[in-house]
Structure 1
Amino acid sequence: MASWHSLPLEIAYLVLGWVAFFSWSFSFYPQVILNYRRKSVVGLHFDFLVLNMTKHSSYLIYNAALFFSPAIQRQYREKYGYDEMIPVALNDVAFSIHAVLLTAITLFQVFIYERGSQKVSKTCTAISVIVWVSVIVCIIVAVPNHSWLWLISVFNTIQVVMTAIKYIPQAVMNFGRKSTEGWSIGNILLDLLGGLTNFAQMGVQSVDQSTLVNFFGNIGKTLLSLEVVFFDLLFIFQHYTLNHLMSKRSRHSMPNGIHRRICSVDSHWMEILAEACKCKYYGIRRLV
């Protein structure tokens, strides 16, 4: 079994892993809290939630199986070398469990809060059915041959694919609405931090072992970090540009006549207040 060559790098690996864990874990809470405060899930695409549940369920199966199963670990070392470290840490398993629970809570909010006319698309439903039917077929194929490593690699592939497509419905809806209202930016900022530290963790392990095998041995974790960073940067761009443009457009779209009438009404009520207070008031009328 492979061991660490450098204590500082081992410590850095553990620290980065838990920073990624807490960043990704806490990233679920801003959306849950936002939904709770608004008592609404309008602005949050339901396809994202369904695909996200499929992704995290698959990732949990992969992480837990590779971390806890001696048989799968043996098959991993037979394929990649007995000197290689298992590319799944305890924080990966803990994160996956937490992610499934928080995604389930967010899905529950869909049923109890205002959701407008939003619903899960037929495309999303079809994708989910195809994925889980494919899983059943793969299990039937893997069991007779005890191809456990191959089987969990299927779940790893699923989570990578789901990560690549789950953000698309939300991104498209944001562009269509010209707004990110209902979509928490706190979620995205923490998610980005998690993606960067997760990738850095794998880099530290590669430096210590003087090999890039862990990037390929856990290609799902590698691609996950890259996909997360890409989409998070896209959402950050949307949030700080679309919302700004929408706010600016709203200010300029108000007819001048309406603006003048609003100011006149304000002036009228200020004059009444001034009279009641028996103080001098020259009004705002000169300004409008």
Structure 2
Amino acid sequence: MSLLEFLSSVFGWIYFICWSLSFYPQSMLNFSRKSTSGTTVDFPLINCLGFLSYAVSNYAFYYSPLIRAQYASRYHGLTPTVQFNDITFALHGLLLSIITTSQYLSPRLWSFTPSKGNKPSRFILGIILGCIVGVIFVIFIVLSSPERNDPSGGGHSWVWLDAIYAISYVKLIVTLIKYTPQVLVNYRNKSTKGWSIVQILLDFTGGVLSIGQQGIDSWLQGDWSGITGNPVKFALGNVSMMYDAVFITQHYVLYKGADGKDGEGEGLLGEGRDEERRIE
């Protein structure tokens, strides 16, 4: 094993550890406070869909002979840069996201004080529905293609590799928007109270190492198709780090030491407050 191969493996497992640990601080903070106030269910809920799609696509890229053959045909004989730790990370993320989501949707189960942020926003529900419909649509297109099972990639026809890409893009879409509700909640409350900054610091570290590993793998293969052929993994690190930078700025600069307004602004675009006013 060369030095670069060793570094790739080390980076892979360290980012796996950092990203895996990043799922715990928020659920632990919620549990210690016996409340989810100051946060919104949108983030963990849509994370469930994101990591489900990520687990399915990574599993296919890593284990499916057909998908790997179609990938190799499309990308000059190369193999996907997906590693085993990507699969374990996705499955672990899915499990922890489900647990965290349950704290919002079933507060009585956790003996939590009910919070207005427990209800998903229409925006997030719309994104979830749109992603599911989009994937089903692509699968139907692939099923109608006579060359869908062609190991050579099917030329210009739709093959199962395209369906796996569609599934993987769900994770990309989720990553692009999943932090937005919490950014807006923090902005409206002028505080990051209730939102764990530890998870953000771990996520940022993991993003740096994830991109580093993919870059090393592509360098070793002598072809940057390792990145263009797996754009989701590359985008995950970059997009997450941009959002992390926003959260770090909010926590340590803009709203440093601010307690915020308890019970306010826990739903996307003020949906929670509007509902409360109607009840009053």
What TM-score do you get using the length of structure 2 for normalisation? 0.83
| Paired amino acid for 1:50 | L
Aligned pairs for 1:34-183 within 5 A: 34-82=29-77, 84-110=78-104, 111-112=106-107, 113-118=112-117, 119-145=119-145, 146=148, 147-183=159-195
Match of 2:230 among 218, 229, 240: 218
Structure 1 residue 115, shift from structure 2 partner: 3.5
In structure 2, what is the Cα distance between the partners aligned to 1:114 and 1:133? 35
Q: Does 1:243 align with 2:237?
A: no
Superposed displacement of residue 247, structure 1: 6.1
Equivalent position to 1:196, from 208, 227, 230: 208
The more displaced of 40-49 and 147-156 is 40-49
Question: Which structure is higher in helix share?
Answer: 1
Distance 1:245 1:108, change over 3 A: closer
Q: How big is each residue's C-alpha offset from its partner over 1:141-166, in whole Å with a ceiling of 9 and x where there is no partner?
A: 22343221100100121111110111
Off by >6 Å, runs of 4+ in structure 1: none
Distance 1:189 1:245 in 2: 18
Report deviation, 1:245: 6.0
> Does the Cα contact within 8 Å between 2:207 and 2:240 map onto a contact in 1?
yes
How many Å separate the matches in 1 of 2:218 and 2:69?
A: 21
- Tell me, what secondary structure is at the counterpart of 2:131? helix
Please give the TM-score of this superposition, normalised by the length of structure 1.
Answer: 0.81
How far 1:102 moved relative to its partner?
0.2
Aligned identity (percent) is: 36
RMSD: 1.5
> What is the one-letter code of the residue matched to 2:204?
L
DSSP-derived class of the 1:211 partner:
coil
Judge conservation of contact 1:160–1:224 (CA < 8 Å) in 2: yes
Local SS of the residue matching 1:198 = helix
Matched pairs, number: 242
Query: CA shift at 1:244, angstroms?
Result: 2.0
Gaps of 5+ in 1: 1-5, 249-288
1:245 & 1:102 partners in 2: Cα distance? 28
- CA positional deviation for 1:243: 3.3
Summarize deviations over 1:72-108 as a string: whole Å, max 9, x none: 00000000011x2321000000000000000000011
